[in-house]
Amino acid sequence: MQCALCKTKECLEGKNCSVIKSGLEYSGKDLKSLQVSAWLEADPVRRTKVEEIAIYAKKLGYGKIGIAFCIDYKKEARLVYEILSRYFEVFSVCCKVCGFGKADFGLRKCEGAGFEVACNPIGQALLLNDDETDLNIMLELKTGCDILFAAHSDAPTVALPVQELPNRDSSDIDMIE
């Protein structure tokens, strides 16, 4: 497929240009996820990504949310924690968890750094797996770390860029049943 190069986008009119439509089926959790996503798409209220995540998780009946965050965004992680903990049991783990030295893995260090701690995305995932989270948020994990985290997370994961954080009170989440 090369949808990015398509100039006509006839799929928007119902044309099937793929070979998978006949074997594709949405049911169970996948159908429920798609229904909630469609609801969010069709809702006229403009929301931040963190609000969408909260509504999505609430509508799917999730109770435990994990936040795997880059240490450079510790303030933003606290904000997300404070918002989501109003509605869910929230667990968080920073990228430097376990305190492994970069030298232990032969990793490149920042120029002029002495001891430097390595990111530990697999450790982040394993700790949130132990917490039995229903959904995990990746808050600005570096490329590669996000891939490793998602690969080792038992729960579905979603990326949350900091520019998608609310700049107002997220009280409209309470309006959703």
Of 43-47, 54-58, 123-127, give the lowest mean pLDDT range: 43-47
In three-state secondary structure terms, 27 is coil
Question: How is residue 101 annotated by DSSP?
Answer: B
Percentage, residues of the chain above pLDDT 90: 59
Query: Which two structure tokens, joined as six digits, stand for 100?
Result: 């492994």
Instruction: Answer yes or no: is 104 within a domain.
Output: yes
* Domain encompassing residue 133: 48-175
The length of the chain in residues reads: 177
Instruction: Answer yes or no: is 65 within a domain.
Output: yes
Instruction: Answer yes or no: is 5 within a domain.
Output: no
In sequence order, the 6+-apart residues with CB closer than 8 A to the CB of 84 are: 50, 53, 54, 65, 67, 90
Instruction: Answer yes or no: is 8 within a domain.
Output: no
| Of 143, 23, 131, the residue nearest 67 (C-alpha) | 131
Instruction: Answer yes or no: is 24 within a domain.
Output: no
- State how many domains the chain has: 1
Instruction: Answer yes or no: is 17 within a domain.
Output: no
Stated pTM of the model: 0.87
Q: Kindly report, residue by residue over 62-119, the tens digit of the pLDDT.
A: 999 999 999 999 999 999 999 999 999 999 999 999 888 888 888 877 777 788 889 9
Please report the pLDDT score of residue 173 as a whole number. Answer: 58
pLDDT at 59 over 90: yes
10 band by pLDDT with thresholds 50, 70 and 90: confident
Instruction: Answer yes or no: is 107 within a domain.
Output: yes
Instruction: Answer yes or no: is 83 within a domain.
Output: yes
CATH number at residue 135: 3.40.50.11840
